[in-house]
Amino acid sequence: MSTAPEPDLSTWPTGRLLAVAARLVEQRWVAVLAGLDLTHAGLIALHTLRGGPLPQRTLAQRCQVTDQTMSRTLGRLTKAGFVTRTPDPADGRRHVTRMTASGRAVLDRAVRAEREDPGLLGGLGDDDAFRARLLSLIDGLSAGG
Amino acid sequence: MSTAPEPDLSTWPTGRLLAVAARLVEQRWVAVLAGLDLTHAGLIALHTLRGGPLPQRTLAQRCQVTDQTMSRTLGRLTKAGFVTRTPDPADGRRHVTRMTASGRAVLDRAVRAEREDPGLLGGLGDDDAFRARLLSLIDGLSAGG
DNA sequence: CCCAATTGTTCAGCAGGCTGAACATTCTGC
DNA sequence: GCAGAATGTTCAGCCTGCTGAACAATTGGG
């Protein structure tokens, strides 16, 4: 009796299942990331900066979050010493965000952790059909939708 | 240059894709739900209460959120008049949560909206394989993990 | 019977989404 | 040139997740 937590999850609309699954997967990361002084949002930002510095707005767009959310995330990453934000000499409105050496180091460690710990994925390792479904979903919703 | 929002989404780990997709799908609901004076979390709680009243902790478990999160969500639903919380006469520690008539009405309208507006699903209508994947993922992560 | 452990709920505080509004800087058009 | 539009960032505030801690009520052991 005490162990009947979700008797009807299968009746839920797909969108809600998606939200629950995302939350559970993300939670799997928390312990690892906390050990690296990093959050999930910060990891995504660092990942997106791996190819070189970007202005904040571009970074936000690539991470699929608003400018405001990215601003706050970068605030924390800056305080942690993982990125620097310097005014763009070519355009005073922009701040160029750049990964620091310690930022790159922590990103590498996180990526390695993700590859090495299959438990982090909850078994969704390399299901290409699933990935393709998610990608087309994102594409459809983020574009014209 | 200005139109290169996500050049590398396909390189993202599956867990991050999942999070982005969930966020985008949820956003699709916001306008509809706001019109019903309801939030996504509130909708899930109402859906879970559709079969009858439940103590708060049980409700939280079935919704896969913490007791604290559910407490706050129910606070808003109570203020909106969609649920009532009364002390359990059989156990003074518990509060029994019960949907009101207007709660049932709003739930019905939300369910109907979901069924009638295919755009709300972003095209993930009835992909059983996808649903099954999500369910097994949730099952694996919420249980032993 | 009473103190301690357990159970159910809530409070405090943090992080991450979002929107709306403010602000500085650049670009445009008169 | 200078006022107004557009662009980039930040501030304020809301809702939802989480954890840790407090508090009330119940249950159990001595």
Q: What is the structure's pLDDT at B145?
A: 44
Which of chain D's bases lie under 7 Å from a protein CB? 7-13, 15-21, 24-27
pLDDT of residue B128: 86
Of B53, B140, B11, the residue nearest A122 (C-alpha): B140
Smallest CA-to-CA distance from B13 within A96, A89, A120, A10 is with: A120
A72 CA, D12 C1': separation in Å?
13
Q: What is the pLDDT of residues A27-76, one digit of tens each?
A: 988 888 999 999 999 999 999 999 999 999 999 999 999 999 999 999 99
Q: Which of B11, B16, B63 is best to mutate for the A interface (most A CBs within 10 A)?
A: B16
- A81 to chain B nearest CA, in Å? 23
Dihedral (Cα; B77, B82, B87, B88), 10-degree rounding: -120
Shortest Cα distance, chain B CAs vs residue A84, angstroms: 22
Q: Which positions ≥6 away from A86 have C-beta within 8 Å?
A: A95, A96, A98
Q: Quick one: pLDDT at residue A125?
A: 62
Question: Which nucleotide's C1' atom has the smallest distance to the CA of B65?
Answer: D17
Query: Alpha-carbon distance B25 to B121, whole Å?
Result: 7
The pLDDT, as a whole number, for residue A68 is 98
**pLDDT by residue (tens digit) across A105-130?**
999 999 888 877 756 555 566 688 89
pLDDT value at residue A40:
95
Residue A31 confidence (pLDDT): 81
**Strand C, CB < 7 A, residues 31-90 of B:** 55-57, 67-68, 71, 74-75, 85
Distance B18 CA to D12 C1' (A): 30
Answer yes or no: is B39 CB < 7 A from strand D: yes
Which sign, positive or negative, has the C-alpha torsion A97, A98, A103, A108? positive
The answer to whether the Cβ–Cβ distance between B15 and A141 falls below 8 Å is no
pLDDT tens sequence across A85-101:
999 999 989 999 999 99
What parts of chain B have a pLDDT lower than 70? Answer: 1-7, 118-126, 143-145
pLDDT of residue B1: 37
> According to the model, what pLDDT value does residue B10 have?
85
CA distance B143 to chain A (A): 10
Selected residue of B12, B33, B112 to mutate for chain A interface (largest A Cβ count, 10 A): B12
DSSP state of B121: G
Predicted TM-score (pTM) of this structure: 0.89
Which pLDDT belongs to residue B125?
62
pLDDT at residue A122, as a whole number: 55
What pLDDT score was predicted for residue B144?
A: 52
